[in-house]
Amino acid sequence: MRTIPTLKDGKQVHSNYTDEDKSVWKILFDRQRENLQRYASGEYLEGLETIGFNADEIPSFDKINKVLQATTGWEIIAVPGIVDDRLFFEYMSNRKFPATTWLRKMSELDYLEEPDMFHDVFAHVPLLTNVHFADFLYEMSRVSLDYINNPTAIELLSRIYWYTVEFGLIRENGQLKIYGAGILSSSGETTYSVSLDPMHFDFNAEHLLNSPYRKDVFQDRYFIIDSFENLYRSMHEIPEILKEKLDKTELFV
């Protein structure tokens, strides 16, 4: 089990980051910065600047939260690792995004089984400054809590989260750009996701709900939104489509 000296009583202990932690953050930040200037969504890049991340300083949750509170009313809350579905959606329904405080080791730079702080904070947090994206997360968490005791519904909703928040693409000025955190924190998947190798589909809620995914490989398909406003608006139709799918499933049980 991983020990987490950077977390105590639910708070980030910034003074406990080691020299290795600082080196890992700098390596990952510098490696992705060049990629992201070319491939990342403009909204993500604006958020990165608004939050004020840089290669030479591991972010302080307290400083981040002051910015988020002033922009969208959100905040990040420190957790030891992956939290269960109910707690995850309860946090987000209160506009709190759970994030780990630990960083991967040098030996884990290119592969990590469990999301670390670089993924949770560097990749996720900048878009929490975008009102439409933040509202999409809020609405999706509320719908998920309505179905929290229905494993089939949660599995289907996880596909929406996976293909948007984690592995979503956006079309900007006729070009494919990245906003999904799972891509933004991976140097390899950054270039792969916008190449001709995987399949690309326009965002369609029903298509997403019908698309299982794997966690242990690069994705074989990505879904493209036209704007974060339209992504937010999709939450008006997703509950209805979900209900129809669940009703059909029950007919065959």
The verdict on whether residue 124 carries a ligand-binding annotation is: yes
The verdict on whether residue 43 carries a ligand-binding annotation is: no
Provide the b/e sequence for 125-151 (b: ≥16 CB within 10 Å).
Answer: bbbbbbebbbbbbbbbbebbbebbeee
In this structure, which amino acid lies at residue 65?
N
User: Does position 251 have pLDDT exceeding 50, yes or no?
Assistant: no
User: Does position 1 have pLDDT exceeding 90, yes or no?
Assistant: no
Task: State residue 249's pLDDT score.
Answer: 73
User: Does position 109 have pLDDT exceeding 90, yes or no?
Assistant: no
On whether the CB atoms of residues 82 and 114 are closer than 8 A, the answer is yes
Task: State residue 253's pLDDT score.
Answer: 40
The pTM of this model reads: 0.94
User: Does position 178 have pLDDT exceeding 70, yes or no?
Assistant: yes
pLDDT tens digits, residue range 204-250? 999 999 999 999 899 999 999 999 999 999 999 999 999 999 998 76
**Which CATH topology does 7-251 take?**
Phenylalanine Hydroxylase (1.10.800)
pLDDT tens digits, residue range 117-130? 999 999 999 999 99
Length of the chain: 253
| Rg of the chain (C-alpha set) | 18
pLDDT tens digits, residue range 45-58? 999 999 999 999 99
Domain boundaries along the sequence of the chain: 7-251
Task: State residue 112's pLDDT score.
Answer: 76
pLDDT tens digits, residue range 48-104? 999 999 999 999 999 999 999 999 999 999 999 999 999 999 999 999 999 999 999
User: Does position 179 have pLDDT exceeding 90, yes or no?
Assistant: yes
Sign of the dihedral defined by the CA atoms of residues 22, 24, 27, 28, in that order: negative
The residue behind tokens 């719908």 is 143
The verdict on whether residue 207 carries a ligand-binding annotation is: no
